[in-house]
Structure 1
Amino acid sequence: MALVSIVTPAFNASKSIAKTVASVQAQSYSDWEMIIVDDCSKDGTYQLALDLSQQDERIKVHQLKTNQGAAAARNFAIEQAKGRYIAFLDSDDRWLPKKLETQLGYMENNNVAFVCSGYDVVNVDGTKIAEFMPPKRASYYDLLRTCSVGCLTAMYDTQVFGKVMMPLIKRRQDYGLWLELLRKGGECHGIQEVLAQYSIGGGSLSQNKFKAARYQWYVYRQVEKLPLLRSCYYFVTYCVNGLLKYRN
């Protein structure tokens, strides 16, 4: 079996991280390591994560010396990763039990290096609000039009790509990573099955979209270095697709 390294940034996640960890421990595929990087939480998240790691040696816990944001925390975890495959799971989201088994089987059977899947959008109490299903294939140019890769479902093969880091920006850093992977060639394969639950916390989908839009433009201009007119074109398509992204 191939080791999967699970990247989990954590900040003030004491109310959710135990359930997140439990969803990983419930996986039907057991050859994994979960790398939790605490970004200087103030609510006891770090100690709670340490307690969980003492009960399961597959859980590795680190703490940044200063608060640096999710991108830095994820990159630190990627640097520490020992697995062939890199997967991502934030400290307030959860996986369904066959997430890893399903994705690894697909990758190995189809010789694919980058996959994602569908996921449910849920409230903090677990009530389903919407569902997102990615396209079966997405190229670099497809992803410029809309981000169809949910971070909590993404997984890539380091034997193909090497360890690829996220751009150090406040938001949309995962989107920057997906673009970097696809710029190297190939496609992201979207498994047509819900394999995770994305929690929106106290916010709303519309609020999240508004905040993301500002950083979407930043990615176009400052990370991807796209010309102004191309950036405008892709931003308009992103906004239109964003209105249609989730299914109730």
Structure 2
Amino acid sequence: MYFRLEPLVSIITPCYNSADFIVPTIQSVLEQSYQNWELIVIDDCSKDDTCKIVEGFVQQHSNIKLVRLPQNGGVANARNVGLEHTNGKYVAFLDSDDIWLKDKLTQQVAYMEDKNLTMTFCAYHRIDEEGKIISAKIEAPYSVNYRQLLSHNVIIFSTSLTLRSAIGDLKFKKAGHEDWIFWLDLFKKSVTGYGINDALVWYRIRKGSVSANKLKVIGYTWKILRESEKLGLFESMYLFTKYAFATVWKRLR
């Protein structure tokens, strides 16, 4: 009988003062039905008990690794450090306050292996700080390319799975909405992302976070269109309007 070896998935989790949320995040990885993974936790010089909590998991699980940074450098730097430590065929990003459902990796790896895909993402629910679901399912489109992604970032980082070879030497930039910029840079390489319309992730909305600060999001969006992507004024205004309507619609769901 022939058994196909499951490819290794490298999971990158940057964290900073995440003691209140990191346990259910790591537990959701341990409970995955997919077994061949490594979890790389990058601590960005936390001042709470984050490292102590993660070290407890490290002592019990050989596939969990903690990298402690000597000084705070921001989430973009932490993710870049995480990429340097990956060994897997695939890379998944999991923020330190989000939660995966148990079949998240199983479904994505199977889909990508079967269809020979470069990148996938999935639908999700938003949750509050107490872990209560506060939205209907945020659906994932069948696919998204660079031009479509310019109109609206439909890819929550914790829902993604990407071929490590496709990322190559691509780095995160220290800027607002660094996740959106990363996907735009990746998709410029003729990459298309394919969606799985099952809600396999709980995405946490925290008070004071960038995602919860509408004014910051608006400013970052305009800056990305004009400065990062160097689009003309009228095209930027058109895409910005589409982004605003899509964001309002999503928040109403």
Do they superpose with TM above 0.5? yes
Once superposed, what is the RMSD of the aligned Cα atoms? 1.7
Given that 1:107 and 1:115 are in contact with CA atoms closer than 8 Å, whether structure 2 keeps it comes out as yes
- Matched with 2:3 is none
Q: Distance in 2 between matches of 1:207 and 1:156?
A: 26
Kindly state the Cα deviation for residue 165 of structure 1 after the two structures are TM-superposed: 2.1
**2:231 is matched with which residue: 207, 223, 226?**
226
**2:185 is matched with which residue: 175, 180, 183?**
180
**1:75 is matched with which residue: 73, 76, 80?**
80
**1:147 is matched with which residue: 131, 148, 153?**
153
**2:162 is matched with which residue: 127, 142, 156?**
156
Kindly state the Cα deviation for residue 159 of structure 1 after the two structures are TM-superposed: 2.9
**1:194 is matched with which residue: 194, 199, 203?**
199
Given that 1:132 and 1:246 are in contact with CA atoms closer than 8 Å, whether structure 2 keeps it comes out as no
Q: Distance in 1 between matches of 2:226 and 2:85?
A: 30
Aligned length: 247
Given that 1:209 and 1:242 are in contact with CA atoms closer than 8 Å, whether structure 2 keeps it comes out as no
Q: Say which is worse superposed, 35-44 or 219-228, in terms of deviation.
A: 219-228
Kindly state the Cα deviation for residue 69 of structure 1 after the two structures are TM-superposed: 0.9
Could you tell me which runs of 5 or more consecutive residues in structure 2 were left unpaired when the two chains were aligned. 1-5
Kindly state the Cα deviation for residue 10 of structure 1 after the two structures are TM-superposed: 0.3
Kindly state the Cα deviation for residue 163 of structure 1 after the two structures are TM-superposed: 4.5
- Matched with 2:93 is 88
Alignment of 1:95-174 (within 5 A): 95-130=100-135, 131-169=137-175, 171-174=176-179
Q: Distance in 2 between matches of 1:49 and 1:224?
A: 38
Normalised TM-score (structure 2): 0.92
Identity rate, percent? 37
Q: Deviations over 1:103-131 (max 9, x none)?
A: 00111111111110001101122211113
Distance 1:247 1:30, change over 3 A: farther
Which letter maps to 2:243?
Y
Could you tell me which runs of 5 or more consecutive residues in structure 1 were left unpaired when the two chains were aligned. none
Q: Say which is worse superposed, 6-15 or 210-219, in terms of deviation.
A: 210-219
Kindly state the Cα deviation for residue 101 of structure 1 after the two structures are TM-superposed: 0.3
Kindly state the Cα deviation for residue 202 of structure 1 after the two structures are TM-superposed: 2.8
Q: Distance in 2 between matches of 1:245 and 1:66?
A: 36
Given that 1:144 and 1:234 are in contact with CA atoms closer than 8 Å, whether structure 2 keeps it comes out as yes
Q: Distance in 1 between matches of 2:239 and 2:127?
A: 28
Kindly state the Cα deviation for residue 186 of structure 1 after the two structures are TM-superposed: 3.3
Which letter maps to 1:98?
D
**1:213 is matched with which residue: 207, 218, 225?**
218
Kindly state the Cα deviation for residue 155 of structure 1 after the two structures are TM-superposed: 1.2
Q: Deviations over 1:138-189 (max 9, x none)?
A: 11010000001111101111234424322121x3111111111111113110
**2:48 is matched with which residue: 43, 46, 50?**
43
Given that 1:78 and 1:163 are in contact with CA atoms closer than 8 Å, whether structure 2 keeps it comes out as no
Q: Deviations over 1:48-85 (max 9, x none)?
A: 21221111111111122211111111111011111111
* Secondary structure at 1:233 match in 2: helix
Q: Say which is worse superposed, 124-133 or 9-18, in terms of deviation.
A: 124-133
Which letter maps to 1:29?
Y
